[in-house]
A and B are shown apart, each in its own frame.
Chain A
Amino acid sequence: MRNLLASAGVALMAGAFSASTFAQSGETINLADVAELSGSGATVGTNWKNGIDLAVDEINAKGGILGAKIIVTHADTQSNAGVAKAQAQKALDGEPYALLGPGYSGSVKVCAPLAAEAGIVEIMGGEAAELTKAGNKFLFRTSFGQQTSMPKIAKYIAEDMKAKTAAVVWVNNDFGKGGHDTILKEFAARDVKVVADDSTEAGQADFAADALKVKASNPDVVFIYLNEEESARILKELRKADVKAPLVGETTLIGQKVIELAGDAANGALAHVGLTTDAPIPAIKAFRDKFVARYNYVPDHNGIKGYLSVYMIKAATEKMGKLDSKNLAAALHGLTITPDKEPGILMEVTIDENGDLDRQSFLGEVVNGKQVIKEVLPKLRN
């Protein structure tokens, strides 16, 4: 009986404490997430969502942001830009503190003007170069844009791999077109001749012809720029077609899900990765362990992106010292967030006036079914 009373007393005090923690400000921070939870982008959106949920629960457990509890809602874009727009509008009608997502660049393109018109910050996962070139002051990345990543890859291919010819395989959507156009420009600047320029479709399942086309062009290197599931399929087909040239790409080529889907076919693939759970950074390893413990799988870079999006909001809000969604964008611009002040940010990041990020990155390779980091590449501006 005494134990029961003691337990009840502790429970009451814990409840009172947590209630008072959030009662200090009396406010909540409503975050609206719009993500690819089904369709061809389900891998992207599910990782993104899970990263967000992990961050939100962590922050709430420590008292929220300036005492305000975060409440996040998730809406499914079905990997369709039209649905994404409708979901974003619906979310924005609820006047959230900030909008999170989508991950697909094509969906970001249609959602961003809506968020800008509403004056709501949008922190998204898209990587197409053009997204942050439209002068939208409310749009922020969680990863590098292609204008940052492609020069790094092209430099590695031309100078380190000494490749003279390349086959380019890309997905025919906003993400892929942006990457394709940027890498072709970078290759031209470095005298790397493109011997095969192969566009594929989002959601494409059969890559046999594409693999054989690449093989017939006999390139020094194959540059692959597809979304995650399609990356896995083409890796398998290139292996079946016995393509010997090195396979190089970006984060979407050697993400954890891709390695799982492609199996042995992923071994030897190289990629510039902005974010990876295999990075030799203790904070990222800790994040990976927490994610695995909660969700029972290793996240890809989209999981990290989702996680960081919430911590970017936290850092900017704490910089302002108050909950002010109207000035959140101004607080984010020019902000450098360091892990010693905000451990949730995992690595030091600087956000520029366009919403682009400057952060260190990595060169990764798949070895025996695991992503191994070969090189750490520093921030562009230290």
Chain B
Amino acid sequence: MANFVALLIAGLATGALYALAAVGFTLLWQTSQTINFAQGEFVMLPAFFMLAAMHAGLPFWAAILVGMALSMAILGFAFKRLLVDPMLQHGVLPLAIATMALSTFLKESVKTFYSAEASPFPSIAPDRDIHLLGVSVSWQNIAVLGVAIITVVSLQFLLNRTRTGRQMQAAAQNPTVARILGVPVERMILYTFLINGALVALTSLLISPIYLAKFSNGDTLGLAAFIAAIVGGFNQIRGAIVGGLLLGIVDNLSAAYVSTQYRGAVPLCLLVVIILFKPNGLLGRAEERTV
């Protein structure tokens, strides 16, 4: 029983990371019809910003701030202005393909200009366990869950309880009407990209101590974020959260109780089942467009 609980906690921690990446993915789709196939690389990259800052002599806490700022500037602002805005006018598909190219560009850039090898990355949590009711839980898992919960709650507060958040929702739901009502739609969309930049930086900070900082981390994370978003519901932030957590738990439990050799297949099977029986995702709603 203790082992099952430990697996569940580990799965929730991993799932929380997938959820953060998936939330960013979903936000971009909701507000600007951007399917960002470089989301995995967006999670990979901020770790290298932070490592570069530490190599330049900054302490860890300062490197985190630098990494966060660069992530929002480059993966948020610059991504929107330099790639999304020019490509979106040609349609969703060309933009999606452009993000695939961006994914390769980011991965190869890190490999070429930083290193092809993995690098150690410091953790924000101590490397120790605590024992709760006979179950050994690492501080790292607790930190991941804690930060993820705070982030999601803060995001929900921003979106539902603040004027800016409600304007962002209005811009996502119906940009034309929102403009008429005086909502600065373009600025709201930019805010979404900046939020995604912050989310991926946070995810990178939490996941890199576990995965190690490596240029190829985006492959796994991007796929996980995509599956989580689809399973949960591509147009619902809550869906992305549920999808991420479910994916983390299913992956861990299947590796422990089914087969480690086929663990990679289980999330994909889950994806297929969801698409077949609930194509909008567990919490998603059907999308309608006026023609």
Interface residues of A (CB under 8 A from B): 37-40, 42-43, 46, 172, 198-201, 203, 205-206, 208-210, 212-213, 215-216, 229, 232-233, 236-237, 239-242, 257, 260-265
Contacts and interface: CB of A to CB of B under 8 A. Distances in A.
Given A172-B261, A233-B212, A206 B141 contact: no
5 contacts: A39-B116, A172-B261, A208-B14, A233-B211, A265-B127
B212 A213 contact: no
Nearest to A264: B127
Given A208-B7, A232-B118, 5 more contacts: A212-B7, A212-B256, A216-B3, A232-B212, A237-B210
Interface string B232-267: 000000000000000000011101100011011000
B186 interface: no
A240 B9 CA distance: 12
B120 A213 contact: no
B166 interface: no
Contacts of B214: 229
Interface string B102-128: 000000000100011111100000010
Contact of A242 (B116, B129, B263): B129
B3 A229 contact: no
A212 B255 CA distance: 10
Given A242-B129, A263-B127, A210 B255 contact: yes
B136 interface: yes
A261 B127 contact: no
Contacts of B7: 208-209, 212
B117 A263 contact: no
**Chain B contact residues (Cβ within 8 angstroms of A): what range?**
35 or more
B212 to A, nearest CB: 6
A92 B140 CA distance: 49
B6 interface: yes
Interface string B130-160: 0000001010110000000000000000000
B168 interface: no
Nearest to B6: A212
B164 interface: no
Determine which residue in B7, B120, B129, B260 has the highest number of CB atoms from chain A within 10 A of its CB, and name it: B260
B33 interface: no
A208 B10 contact: yes
Given A212-B7, A240-B138, A43 B118 contact: yes
Contact of B116 (A38, A199, A237, A262): A38
Interface string B204-220: 00000011101011001
Contacts of B117: 42-43, 46, 229, 257
A80 B197 CA distance: 32
B40 to A, nearest CB: 11
B10 A209 contact: yes
A261 B210 CA distance: 10
A213 B127 contact: no
Given A199-B261, A206-B251, A240-B141, A213 B256 contact: yes
Determine which residue in B13, B118, B120 has the highest number of CB atoms from chain A within 10 A of its CB, and name it: B118
Nearest to B217: A205
Given A38-B111, A212-B10, A212-B256, A261 B3 contact: no
A183 B189 CA distance: 57
B169 to A, nearest CB: 34
Contacts of B3: 212, 215-216
B127 A203 contact: no
Contacts of A215: 3, 6
